[in-house]
Structure 1
Amino acid sequence: MGVVNRLVGGMPIPRMVRVRQEFDGARLADVGGAVRETLRGSGVLRGVRPGMRVAVTAGSRGIANIALILRTITEALREAGAAPFVVPAMGSHGGATAEGQLDVLRSLGITEDYLGCPVESSMEVREIGRTPDGRPVQIDARAAAADGIVAVNRVKPHTSFTGPYESGLMKMLAIGLAKQAGAEVCHQEGYANMAANIEKYGRAILRDAKVLFGVAILENAYDQTCEVTALPPEEIAKREPALLLRAKALMPGILLPNVDVLVVDRMGKNISGLGMDPHITGCFATGYASGPPRPGKLAVLDLTDETHGNANGIGVADVTTRRLLERFDPEVTYPNAITATLTQAVRMPLVMDSHKLAIQAAIKTAPGFDKARIRMVRLRDTLHLSEIFISEAMLSDAAANPRVEVLGEPEELSFDGEGNLF
């Protein structure tokens, strides 16, 4: 990398300033209490009978308070006389293996000891019916054999398509609960048809599976639980579109315009399905979803520990680091891309030897000649947008924005002896 490093190594890096962005911070003070209240108030527990075995879904995302929410639901089911158990419902994530999916749940704090009930992981599926156009509908075999199913998921915009149902309860049923085999069927027609397929397969599962109820979770811009809503099966398809619109209104973002270079410290499946939420970065893997303008260049520096080597979404970046590449596990990453038919999401960007060189490469290749006035933003990840770093060239915009507070003075980025930030 001698020649490559020389090409970018002299590029000046702007001084950065820490700023605070202000978003709607309303949140639930007692998440467990709110879950119990919505379960009681909605009447969904009336369908639970003593002795029923009930499968409760657990996905792979880093949803705030997810372990507590699942424990509260399983406790309420036990109190109603049922025998709940949790099933990983994450399509092909976790390397599309039963043990890999258990590892994902453990990393999220979802364990049998914490929940007080079994966690049963299997990639086996059972066909439970057909869609109106004759396609097979498959779900987790253990969930299919249970006396009831409870779907639990956060409702939020999807990273690769737009529709009335994106990430939420319908997707949890159609793709998460369908495991790798069913998720592959749902994805096979491509992202142009994903919104329609989520609804088609989701409605078929609501019709043919023993879904007792769903619990929809909304988060505020600070990655905190702000709403939980229990829905009987007949209300899931009716009410989820409104919950999605509410979730979109709660989304955070980068409040300053015209970003030349965006630096993201870490990405991972626990952050977003695409590793970095494109509704924050503006960098989408398909043309079937849209959001803020794309920055001139996107550099991502590392993977989270919780992603277990899954670098799905790296393909939207322009530059990355050797450190990230060394942590990248194709056995964990590629099943997701193959199942979702989204191979562009795992293409490899420029790989540089250090954080410093990656940032310099992004600056050097960003459009425009005035590199001394580069407009650069640095994020910890796309879940944490409250405090970010901006370059000096953006200070006047920050001062003019009432939702942005400047917290310090411009400072040089501090790299270690190997050119890394952390």
Structure 2
Amino acid sequence: MFIDFPKSDFVLKGLEDIVIPPMVKIRQKFDSSCIEDIRGHLISNMNETITDKEWYRDKRICITGGSRGISNIDLITKTVVDQLKEWGAKPFIIPAMGSHAGGTAEGQKEMLATFNIIEESMGAEILSSMDVVQYSSLEDGTPLYIDKYAYNSDGIVIINKVKPHTNFHGKHESGLAKMMAIGLGKHVGSAMFHMKGFPTFAERIPQVCEEFLKCFKNVFAVGIVENAYDKICKLEVVPRENILEKDAELLQIAKKNMAHFKYPHMDVIVIDEMGKNVSGTGFDPNIISHEVLDYQQLFVRGLTEDTRHNACGIGFVDISTQRMLNDIDWDSTWTNIANSTVLYSGRIPMYANSDKEALLIAIRSCNNIDFNKAKIVRIKNTLHMDEIEVSLAYWEEIKDYEGIERIGEFREIQFDAEGYIIE
């Protein structure tokens, strides 16, 4: 469902007196340590960690494919497929992404395709279904579900990035345990879990993981951690008995490697794109939220291509544009949001008729600032925090900070004839 939003004609006095400040590109420096030979590293790790290789001969092994954008996820998945084949196994891949991609089998298979996870490139079947099997339940009676293809397989390989979650904090957040608790549960299992509410996640995720591992003996995991430059800095094959322990350990590494703003005080944040491939809420609240930053207005200009028009998290945006709202598939977005039970994240924000108008409104709506000296930061998305653009007033605050480098000259933002930013 797409909505044709009309042109907005509301009046806000004072816009004509505001001068949008010049911007300059800067580089924020973070730890850049990463794994160069991903395939070689993973093959070596699989052969060192998995000791019962003969067991895999002629076994049908299910490999999970999630909805998050992960560096080299196609290479990682292909490497796991190839190594399993080397051991004589018959691997296949399933989407393991809860209710994402519209909550449909076709949509989830198409989501994997955006990461180049297709049968031709992987050399393995991709079996996508929303059908599930109840395999157990928690002590409080909550039923636990798993994708039917995973249930009927001989073994399961959990592949996922480990990172801080956007809506709760605990020993286990987004990672290997969550993939078992929610991703593999498809729409039905994900809905059952989310109905208990995010405040219960930190306690319930390890409970589900423990029950999962009791019921499914032939499991191992591949845990992935990215650095601030979206490069893989940690890649570990984890045997079944160590999954919970390693999931918690990798989360702490991920938190230390997260990108962030070196100076957390600004007036307006401009994000060029948001999407499910970036974060569950379109942009990572661990990087951009009022809990970690002191800012007044958030302006988001558009959606990523890989999000497939899903704007989950749009409700956290202060202002956007007519063009962006017209690009949103509200059925897909609200399916995801209703399943998460956080309905306000699907609210429609104020919108303007162009980028220029939206930026002026965002500046004008800030309290107690000099409108012509606004502290503005602009990023592509929260996966790209190394090179960002900042206004003169913001630069003056951070120019002497360690790990900050100016890499361009100040320039005026260029707009096209319709008032949209020229990239």
TM-score by length of 1: 0.95
**What aligned pairs does 1:63-142 form with structure 2 within 5 A after superposition?**
63-142=70-149
Is 2:404 the counterpart of 1:404?
yes
Distance 1:47 1:236, change over 3 A: farther
For 1:368, the aligned partner's letter is N
* C-alpha deviation, 1:5, in angstroms: 6.7
8 Å CA contact 1:263–1:298 kept in 2: the answer is yes
Query: Which residue of structure 2 aligns with residue 29 of structure 1?
Result: 36
8 Å CA contact 1:44–1:212 kept in 2: the answer is no
Is 2:157 the counterpart of 1:150?
yes
> 2 CA distance for matches of 1:266 and 1:45?
45
* C-alpha deviation, 1:11, in angstroms: 3.0
Query: Which residue of structure 2 aligns with residue 390 of structure 1?
Result: 390
For 2:145, the aligned partner's letter is Q
Q: Secondary structure at the match of 1:3?
A: coil
> 2 CA distance for matches of 1:243 and 1:408?
36
> 1 CA distance for matches of 2:249 and 2:209?
17
Deviations along 1:394-414, whole A, 9 cap, x unmatched?
222232112000112221101
Query: Which residue of structure 2 aligns with residue 195 of structure 1?
Result: 202
> 2 CA distance for matches of 1:248 and 1:183?
25
> 2 CA distance for matches of 1:378 and 1:243?
30
* C-alpha deviation, 1:134, in angstroms: 2.5
> 2 CA distance for matches of 1:418 and 1:10?
20
The range that moved more, 40-49 or 220-229, is 40-49
* C-alpha deviation, 1:7, in angstroms: 6.1
**What aligned pairs does 1:22-421 form with structure 2 within 5 A after superposition?**
22-43=29-50, 46=53, 48-283=55-290, 291-421=291-421
> 1 CA distance for matches of 2:14 and 2:327?
26
Distance 1:334 1:45, change over 3 A: farther
8 Å CA contact 2:264–2:294 kept in 1: the answer is no
Aligned length, in residue pairs:
415
The range that moved more, 168-177 or 330-339, is 330-339
8 Å CA contact 2:61–2:156 kept in 1: the answer is yes
For 1:375, the aligned partner's letter is K
8 Å CA contact 2:56–2:84 kept in 1: the answer is no
Deviations along 1:373-395, whole A, 9 cap, x unmatched?
21110001110011101110022
> 2 CA distance for matches of 1:28 and 1:171?
24
> 1 CA distance for matches of 2:163 and 2:17?
42
Query: Which residue of structure 2 aligns with residue 287 of structure 1?
Result: none
For 1:68, the aligned partner's letter is L
Deviations along 1:301-343, whole A, 9 cap, x unmatched?
0001111010001111100111110110012111111111011
For 2:330, the aligned partner's letter is P
For 2:48, the aligned partner's letter is G
8 Å CA contact 2:66–2:95 kept in 1: the answer is yes
More helix by share: 1
For 1:242, the aligned partner's letter is E
> 2 CA distance for matches of 1:190 and 1:6?
42
> 2 CA distance for matches of 1:257 and 1:53?
50
8 Å CA contact 1:158–1:167 kept in 2: the answer is yes
Q: Secondary structure at the match of 1:55?
A: strand
> 2 CA distance for matches of 1:406 and 1:275?
28
8 Å CA contact 1:45–1:77 kept in 2: the answer is no
* C-alpha deviation, 1:294, in angstroms: 4.4
8 Å CA contact 1:125–1:139 kept in 2: the answer is yes
Deviations along 1:80-120, whole A, 9 cap, x unmatched?
11100000000000100000001100111110011000000
Q: Secondary structure at the match of 2:286?
A: helix
* C-alpha deviation, 1:9, in angstroms: 5.3
8 Å CA contact 2:42–2:76 kept in 1: the answer is yes
> 2 CA distance for matches of 1:292 and 1:307?
25
* C-alpha deviation, 1:233, in angstroms: 1.1
Q: Secondary structure at the match of 1:400?
A: coil
Deviations along 1:17-42, whole A, 9 cap, x unmatched?
11000000011111111111111121
8 Å CA contact 1:44–1:232 kept in 2: the answer is no
Unaligned runs of 5+ in 2: 1-7
> 2 CA distance for matches of 1:304 and 1:5?
30
8 Å CA contact 1:17–1:406 kept in 2: the answer is yes
Deviations along 1:46-97, whole A, 9 cap, x unmatched?
3742111011000001100001000000111111111000000000001000
Q: Secondary structure at the match of 2:389?
A: strand
Q: Which runs of 4+ in 1 moved over 6 A?
A: none
8 Å CA contact 1:281–1:294 kept in 2: the answer is no
Q: Secondary structure at the match of 1:217?
A: strand
> 1 CA distance for matches of 2:145 and 2:9?
52
Q: Secondary structure at the match of 1:19?
A: strand
**Identity %, equivalent residues:** 39
Query: Which residue of structure 1 aligns with residue 5 of structure 2?
Result: none
Query: Which residue of structure 2 aligns with residue 11 of structure 1?
Result: 18
For 2:372, the aligned partner's letter is A
> 2 CA distance for matches of 1:385 and 1:408?
16
8 Å CA contact 1:281–1:295 kept in 2: the answer is no
> 2 CA distance for matches of 1:299 and 1:45?
53
> 2 CA distance for matches of 1:5 and 1:207?
61
8 Å CA contact 1:156–1:168 kept in 2: the answer is yes
Q: Secondary structure at the match of 2:135?
A: strand
8 Å CA contact 1:54–1:150 kept in 2: the answer is yes
